[in-house]
Structure 1
Amino acid sequence: MWDPGFEYVRAARATLPGWHRRMSMIATNSYGRPSRPGLAAGLHPRGSVEGVAFLVAPDKCPEILDVLSKREWAYLAVMAPMRLADGSSVRALTYLASPVNGRFRTTQPVGDFLRRLSHGVGRKGYAADYVRQSAEALSAHGVRQSDLHDLVPVIAGGTRFRR
């Protein structure tokens, strides 16, 4: 949300009904590596989640879809209905936790979860920074309470190993 990795026209707060966000993907590349796996967010059935929707220029769609398909390969791409902050409804490309991908853990022991959040580090940085930056991006769009916000104090007390 803080660095989508593509050019966009506008970003807006959005609500996706029927799904909830959970730090459930075992990350072994961007925010973790095999020796120090981290976590990334996944959208799972039930609930409702607030996030950010990006409007892109139609002529940029092929290029952006190429970027996203390479980056979000572990997720299931779907067009989903969501509600924007202005009250309008749109269908938008959304990436869900894939039920057939072995990287997603709907439940995990607390110790493993905390260790992955606190110590996971990969080519894009620490898993803890991913959580902080995501929470900050949500706050910038008016989302002041989320699962990511709830995790910030948890990781603030943790220690991290150096790269």
Structure 2
Amino acid sequence: MARDMDEFWVFGYRSLMWNPGFVFEERIPARVFGFRRSLCVWSHVHRGTPQQPGLVLGLDRGGSCLGVAFRVSDGQRVEVLNYLRRRELVTNVYLERVLPASLQDRRQVRAVSYIVDRHHPQYAGALAVEDAAEVVYRSHGQSGPNQAYVSNTLAHMKEMGIRDPWLERVSAAVSDCAQAAG
């Protein structure tokens, strides 16, 4: 898929932004259009269980998403693509795509990214803020509480100067759930 790209770019919109796990030559804020960051993937292992799934982020249709683009050298292209596939395609809830991305410096590139497969059983769909918050509040998996996933994601995004108002509202509603239970 990425062989026809003149330069090899990767677009990250969740943990890849601050923890890419691969060598890159350039890192720059970027935006993709037609997709948005969303808590739309059921997590049965890391942030939930099959009996009580949690929610993790996916790139879903609609809107736009501010993230980070990484330019990878031609010599690292195959290695990085293999790494990304091992990291992102574990349960095949994500689909590998090459998306147009607008870099902060106004360059336009094509970047490999991973969008949610709306036909996969782990696709949660577009949840209301309150519904997403209730799931996040009560879920816990092998990697810890779902609440920690959301708050850590927001903290890293804030450090990078990236705001996500919808995710911020979910986080505030999770705090409301904790206060109501408490």
Structure 1 residue 109, shift from structure 2 partner: 7.0
* Residue in structure 2 matched with residue 32 of structure 1 by the alignment: 48
Query: What are the within-5 Å matches in structure 2 for residues 14-25 of structure 1?
Result: 14-25=30-41
Q: Distance in 1 between matches of 2:57 and 2:66?
A: 13
State the one-letter code of the partner of 2:60. Answer: H
Query: What pairs with 1:8-157 in structure 2 (closer than 5 Å)?
Result: 8-73=24-89, 74-108=93-127, 113-157=132-176
Q: Which runs of 5+ in 1 are unaligned?
A: none
One-letter code of the match for 2:40? S
* TM-score, with structure 2 as normaliser: 0.74
How many pairs are equivalent? 159
Q: Secondary structure at the match of 1:79?
A: strand
Native 8 Å contact 2:129 2:170 kept in 1: no
Distance 1:144 1:28, change over 3 A: same
Give structure 2 stretches of 5+ with no counterpart: 1-16
Once superposed, what is the RMSD of the aligned Cα atoms? Answer: 2.3
User: What's the % identity of the aligned pairs?
Assistant: 28
Q: Structure 2: how far apart are the matches of 1:21 and 1:77?
A: 16
Give yes or no for contact 2:129–2:166 (8 Å, CA) kept in 1: no
Give the drift of 1:142.
2.2
- What letter corresponds to residue 66 of structure 2 in structure 1? E
TM-score normalised per structure 1: 0.82
SS across alignment from 2:155: helix
Greater per-residue helix proportion: 2
Q: Distance in 2 between matches of 1:137 and 1:38?
A: 20
Distance 1:147 1:52, change over 3 A: farther
Q: Aligned equivalents of 2:145 and 2:40: distance in 1?
A: 15
Mapped to 1, the partners of 2:138 and 2:24 lie a distance apart of 32
Tell me by how many angstroms 1:89 deviates.
1.2
Q: Which has the larger radius of gyration?
A: 2
> Given the superposition, is the C-alpha separation of residues 7 and 37 from structure 1 closer, same or farther in structure 2, using an over 3 Å criterion?
farther
Alpha-carbon separation, structure 1, partners of 2:24 and 2:177: 35
